[in-house]
Amino acid sequence: MGLAVAAARGGGAQRLAAVRGWWRLQHPPPSLRQRLDVAYTTAITAAIVGALAYGTAISALAQVVTPDRLAVLGPALVLLALVLAMRWGAYHGPVVFTVADVAFLLGAPLPRSGLAARRLVLALAGGAAAGAAVAGMAILGLAGEGRGIAEARAAGLVE
């Protein structure tokens, strides 16, 4: 690796490409069968857990999340979640590196933006998925016990 990275003269993008090329040679990607096995297992597990969580949420959340209670406690809970997320972001940020990453990769003459871009996209996608899950739980709670919820109000919660 040392020779390949040392031979990659020029900008940081070329050095980063050399490191990623070496990594692909040392750690080949999984085969198609392995990827399909992981996708199948994930889909089956998500279906089972999703059905169980949906049944639990529709019955339990309907007792806790009422329109009146959501109107009173909703803004305070959202503000608390925002403050906690900002505090976490102040210390860690959306991209967290391991000790080995800090010791070797961040000390190398590689562009930091190239190292952090993939992790940042994954962190933002995870945050969006978590927000959609919270909005879905709020919709299930509001629509439970035969109360129902208008489509426009449900869409407003997701936006």
pTM to 2 decimals?
0.52
- Report the chain (159 residues): mean pLDDT per 10 consecutive residues: 51 80 85 94 94 81 77 86 83 73 73 78 87 80 70 69
Domain enclosing residue 85, as ranges = 31-158
Q: Are residues 50 and 124 in the same domain?
A: yes
Q: Are residues 88 and 154 in the same domain?
A: yes
Q: Are residues 110 and 151 in the same domain?
A: yes
Q: Are residues 77 and 24 in the same domain?
A: no
pLDDT for the residue numbered 42: 94
pLDDT for the residue numbered 105: 72
pLDDT for the residue numbered 145: 65
CA distances from 29 to 14, 39, 74 (A): 22, 15, 45
pLDDT tens column, 33-48: 999 999 999 999 999 9
